Amino acid sequence: MGGGCGQVPDLLEFSLTLRLGDFVLNAAEKIPLTGITALSGPSGSGKTTLLRAIAGLEPTVEGHVYFAGERWSGLDAGSRKIGYVFQDARLFPHLDVTENLRYGAVRRGVGPDRVDAIVKALDLRPLLRRMPTTLSGGEMQRVALGRALASGPRILLMDEPLAGLDQARKAGLMPYISRAVSEFGVPALYVSHSVEELAFLADRILRIRDGELDGWSETAPRLVGQVVQVRGNCLELAIGGVSVQVKGRGRPGETWALLLGNEYLVSTNPPGKSNAALSLQARVIEAVGENGHYVVDVEGQRVTLPWKDDERRVLPEHTALWLSIPRVLARPV
Amino acid sequence: MSLWSSVWLTLQLAGVTTVILVVISIPLAWWLAGTASRIKPAVEALTAMPLVLPPTVLGFYLLILMSPASPVGAFWVTLTGESLTFSFSGLVIASVFYSLPFAVQPLQGAFQSVGRGMMEAAATLGASRWDAFRSVALPLSRRGVLTAAVLSFAHTVGEFGVVLMVGGNIPGQTRLISIEIYSAVETLDYASAHLLSGGLLVFSFIVLTIVYRMNGRGVWAGA
């Protein structure tokens, strides 16, 4: 995978045209193959169609797709080494969870060690003997994510995997998705129009409107947490295992984003006694890439930070960091 | 005894016909379930014709097609040295045509309900089209396959007009249960007619009950 020191990440490059009745999709872009790229737009904008075209599921599409320089157009979906997570999970109802997980693994020669690692990372062990019809919506999507990962994909294509789920299940599943991407090093293209999902998961956002790409929007560095307590104008946010007091009006259970702004400080030494309002432990998971960004893990969340010139050296992967924020700003998402 | 030879002959005919029908109907039904081809309605209509045509019409044309005077019939004679008409092979061919809708329609329905989504999911996991058919579509359609087989068998056991036209009434060779009953009534042998008719009645009831039980259970119950 790309993303090492100064290394140029591989690209997913496409230029696609597809006509479906009155709808025309016309999209060309280069997407870096690291982290989670969100594809976002209103319903009917063509985001799912674009994802299906990249996957090879739209036989009438014209144009080309290159994955890291390798020509994909002309290959059928099965030969593209993708992992596709459908909005409706599409688990095979005649196979139990284990057999579903193994379906792609067996066909692509993925070893049982990897399948075991996925079972562990996604907490699937208690579900292994169950039939898909006995699973809840959230469990189904977790198995579908595991099944896609177990087929040894080079990219995960996810089509609104959380759309049918209630707030609590969504919040429960999102950390699994970001964990799957960072732990197994598989880049993802994630279709969603949910602000909450984009805030939590996206490393970058590509917008689509009326079948045409509408440019990139940068995600501001942020952490996402759940409101656990409300006291007047003060909220207590749980961000992973850390609890943070922020100002604002809200209700318990809501998802809030803690904005890092651009006044945060990164250091490799413990902050000790400082005047920062909040210090959080972090770890580098992707060193500086072509676009001058690096990715750190804070309480299980991926945070993409721009490389600042006054930072003297590039921090290698796994470096432990402290992230200090002078002021705590948060807003509901 | 001629009664039992007709029963045995009928079971043989129904067995062979069922095997042939399942083998040819699976690809045909799969194609019909998935295609948007312009000739699909025509193929569906052809397949369903035996449901609406009088068996004598189908039997009449098959008789002409199989007679040694026709190219098909003549080819069979040079190939095997026997005539297709008034033979067991001729009965099998006629039964395959006659029972075709009973095999194709349940299969087509089952394949359609598997849906494109499952096949797409299999494809994204690295399965070829054949592999996805074998490992996903076919197991999900197993009730359809069973229904097709049972209905083909039962319908073949119950045929009369077509086989009488094509096969005639040769004891031990083409005299099936239904024809045996007809002959028995003609010769006022009501005892034999009762025995065979009652047998068919009970057989049909049991078979249909099995089919409805199979399809009436929840979609995945007992999977």
Locate the domains of chain B by residue range. Answer: 2-216
Cβ neighbours for A99, distance < 8 A, ≥ 6 positions apart? A92
**Among A149, A153, A147, A155, CA closest to A188:** A155
Statement: residue B101 has pLDDT above 60: yes
Nearest to B128 among A78, A82, A148 (CB): A78
**Which positions in chain B touch A93 (Cβ < 8 Å)?**
140, 220, 223
Asked if B183 contacts B197 with a C-beta cutoff of 8 angstroms, the reply is no
Task: Provide the CB-side half-sphere exposure for A176 (13 A, CA).
Answer: 23
User: Is the CB of residue B136 less than 8 Å away from at least one CB of chain A?
Assistant: yes
Burial (CB count <10 Å: 0-12, 13-18, 19+), residue B205: exposed
Asked if B114 contacts B26 with a C-beta cutoff of 8 angstroms, the reply is no
Give how far B135 is from chain A: nearest CA, Å: 9
Asked if B55 contacts B159 with a C-beta cutoff of 8 angstroms, the reply is yes
Residue with tokens 């040694």: B68
**Among B169, B166, B188, CA closest to B179:** B169
pLDDT score recorded for residue B218: 53
Statement: residue B217 has pLDDT above 70: no
**Which positions in chain A touch B117 (Cβ < 8 Å)?**
86, 88, 90
Give how far A80 is from chain B: nearest CA, Å: 8
**Which positions in chain A touch B120 (Cβ < 8 Å)?**
57, 77, 84, 86, 90
From first to last of its 333 residues, chain A has per-residue pLDDT tens of: 433 444 567 899 999 999 988 999 999 999 999 888 999 999 889 999 999 999 999 999 999 999 999 999 989 998 999 999 999 999 999 999 999 999 999 999 999 999 999 999 899 999 999 999 999 999 999 999 999 999 999 999 999 999 888 877 887 888 788 778 877 889 999 999 887 788 778 888 999 999 999 889 877 688 888 899 988 878 899 998 889 988 877 788 878 888 787 678 888 888 777 778 888 999 998 887 666 778 899 988 888 887 775 656 778 888 898 888 887 877 776
CB contact under 8 A, A90 and B220: no
Other CB atoms within a 10 A radius of the CB of residue A49 amount to 22
Q: What DSSP element (H or E) covers B100?
A: helix B88-124
Residue with tokens 């089509």: A159
Give how far B219 is from chain A: nearest CA, Å: 10
Q: Collapsing DSSP states into helix, strand and coil, what is residue A250?
A: coil
Within chain A, all domains assigned CATH 3.40.50.300 are found at: 11-217
Statement: residue B221 has pLDDT above 60: no
The Cα B203–Cα B10 span in angstroms is 13
**Which positions in chain A touch B127 (Cβ < 8 Å)?**
78, 103, 107
* Homologous superfamily of the A11-217 domain (CATH): P-loop containing nucleotide triphosphate hydrolases (3.40.50.300)
Q: Dihedral of CA B195/B200/B205/B210: which sign? A: positive
Nearest to A131 among B121, B135, B223 (CB): B223
pLDDT score recorded for residue B141: 95
Asked if A57 contacts B120 with a C-beta cutoff of 8 angstroms, the reply is yes
Other CB atoms within a 10 A radius of the CB of residue A298 amount to 20
Nearest to B123 among A77, A81, A93 (CB): A77
CB contact under 8 A, B125 and A103: yes
> What integer best gives the mean pLDDT of chain B?
91
**Which positions in chain B touch A189 (Cβ < 8 Å)?**
none
Give how far B199 is from chain A: nearest CA, Å: 37
- Give residue A261's region: left, alpha or beta (phi > 0; psi -120 to 50): left
CB contact under 8 A, A103 and B122: yes
> Could you tell me the CA-to-CA distances from A66 to A34, A74, B81 in Å, in that order?
15, 11, 62
The token pair at B190 is 């009501």
Residue B101 sits at φ, ψ, to 5 deg, of -60, -30
The token pair at A66 is 């290159």
Cβ neighbours for A202, distance < 8 A, ≥ 6 positions apart? A36, A37, A38, A40, A190, A219
pLDDT score recorded for residue B222: 40
The Cα A126–Cα A140 span in angstroms is 13
Please write the tens of the pLDDT for every residue from B163-201: 999 988 888 888 999 999 999 999 999 999 999 999 999
* Interface residues of chain A, partner chain B, Cβ below 8 Å: 55-57, 76-79, 81-84, 86, 88, 90, 92-94, 103-104, 107-108, 131, 133, 147-148, 151
Asked if A229 contacts A194 with a C-beta cutoff of 8 angstroms, the reply is no
Asked if B149 contacts B136 with a C-beta cutoff of 8 angstroms, the reply is no
Question: Which ipTM value was assigned to this complex?
Answer: 0.81
**Which positions in chain B touch A77 (Cβ < 8 Å)?**
120, 123-124
DSSP state, B165?
Answer: H
Cβ neighbours for B149, distance < 8 A, ≥ 6 positions apart? B18, B21, B22, B103
The Cα A308–Cα A323 span in angstroms is 14
> Could you tell me the CA-to-CA distances from B201 to A51, A102, B54 in Å, in that order?
57, 48, 22
User: Is the CB of residue B195 less than 8 Å away from at least one CB of chain A?
Assistant: no
| Domain topology for B2-216 | MetI-like fold (1.10.3720)
Please write the tens of the pLDDT for every residue from B18-64: 999 999 999 999 999 999 899 999 999 999 999 999 999 999 999 99
Asked if A3 contacts A34 with a C-beta cutoff of 8 angstroms, the reply is yes
User: Is the CB of residue B134 less than 8 Å away from at least one CB of chain A?
Assistant: no
The Cα A252–Cα A250 span in angstroms is 7
Other CB atoms within a 10 A radius of the CB of residue A300 amount to 14
Residue of chain B whose Cα is closest to the Cα of A152: B125
DSSP state, A301?
Answer: E
CB contact under 8 A, B125 and A78: yes
> Could you tell me the CA-to-CA distances from B158 to A276, A324, B55, B177, B180 in Å, in that order?
89, 85, 12, 8, 12
Residue with tokens 């025995």: B195
User: Is the CB of residue B36 less than 8 Å away from at least one CB of chain A?
Assistant: no
Residues of chain B with pLDDT > 70, as a percent, come to: 96
Residues of chain B with pLDDT > 90, as a percent, come to: 76
CB contact under 8 A, B120 and A90: yes
CB contact under 8 A, A107 and B118: no
CB contact under 8 A, B122 and A83: no
The Cα B24–Cα A222 span in angstroms is 61
pLDDT score recorded for residue B223: 35
**Nearest-10 crossing angle of helices A112-121, A137-150:** 150
Residue of chain A whose Cα is closest to the Cα of B141: A94
Other CB atoms within a 10 A radius of the CB of residue B134 amount to 13
